[in-house]
Amino acid sequence: MITSRYRVPAAASADDPGADTELLRLREELAAEYDLQESLYHFGDTDFSFLSVRDSYALLDRISPEEFLKDEQMPYWAEIWPAAVTLSHVIMEDLDIAGKSVVELGAGVGMASVAAAKKGARVLVTDYSTEALKFALYNALRNGVVLETGRLDWRMVRSDEKFDIVIAADVLYERVNLLPIVTAIETLLKPGGAAYIADPRRRLAEQFLELVNENGFRVTASDMHDATGDRTIAVTVYRIERVAG
């Protein structure tokens, strides 16, 4: 079930003093809780700025043993991962998504969702972490786009809402997540739609693809590379579609 939904107001994308005030308020709220860093990116012909946590490992102390046993949730949301950067390039440079509905799974700070909204899509950015959604909201305001945020546990997706496109970056990191992600795609994707999953070539991706094929989808893989600092990161973007029949 998608809960705690919030829509970034349209005024955020205009020269509205109210939007600047809300941006400043949210920045101060986040700065009171986290050590922040803001990073600049260029996708297509557009510049972006994204806020994230400087050191995600510092957040481990916030997780009590009781909370970990309940959800086994690590603060992966707090970083900008190379797969999210690659997926954002693909969205801005290769996909025709203006006017289409898009949902992101495990969005973290919302980079790919913001790129999709900038490209003209109607976007719902989701994550299990409500902390992540605060950053996604800030980054939407910061980049002047309109989108909606919502809390979603991909282990139990119950929704009648369907989307033209499902996107996710670097979500295939635990075996227990693989089938729930396939099920989430099955539940959320419209007939004729497509999912784009960006992965830094983890071994678990092979098992994920087996499950995708077993559940009536076909996959097209595109191998890409992105520079991160002085490193070149290999990322594969999987386009997943239902097999007609």
How many whole angstroms separate alpha carbon 207 and alpha carbon 175?
A: 8
- Side-chain half-sphere CA neighbours of 57 within 13 A: 0
Average pLDDT rounded to a whole number, residues 200-214: 93
Where residue 195 falls among pLDDT bands split at 50, 70, 90? very high
Task: Summarize pLDDT for 121-139 with one digit per residue, the tens.
Answer: 999 999 998 999 999 999 9
Is 41 a residue whose pLDDT tops 60? yes
- Average of per-residue pLDDT values in the chain: 87
> Which of residues 26 and 156 earns the better pLDDT score?
26
Query: Is the Cβ–Cβ distance between 125 and 133 less than 8 Å?
Result: yes
Radius of gyration of the chain (CA): 17
Most confident of the following: 19-33, 52-66, 208-222: 208-222
Contact indicator for 124, 163 with CB cutoff of 8 Å: yes
Compute the distance between CA of residue 234 and CA of residue 231 in angstroms, rounded to an integer. Answer: 10
- Tell me the C-alpha to C-alpha distance, in Å, between residue 106 and each of 95, 176, 227: 20, 15, 23
* Range(s) of the domain holding residue 110: 2-242
**How many other C-beta atoms are found inside a 10 Å radius of the C-beta of residue 232?**
10
pLDDT-derived band at 75 (thresholds 50, 70, 90) equals confident
Work out how many domains the chain is built from and give that number: 1
CATH number at residue 29: 3.40.50.150
Residue 64 has pLDDT above 60, yes or no: no
**Confidence at residue 22, expressed as pLDDT on a 0 to 100 scale:** 86
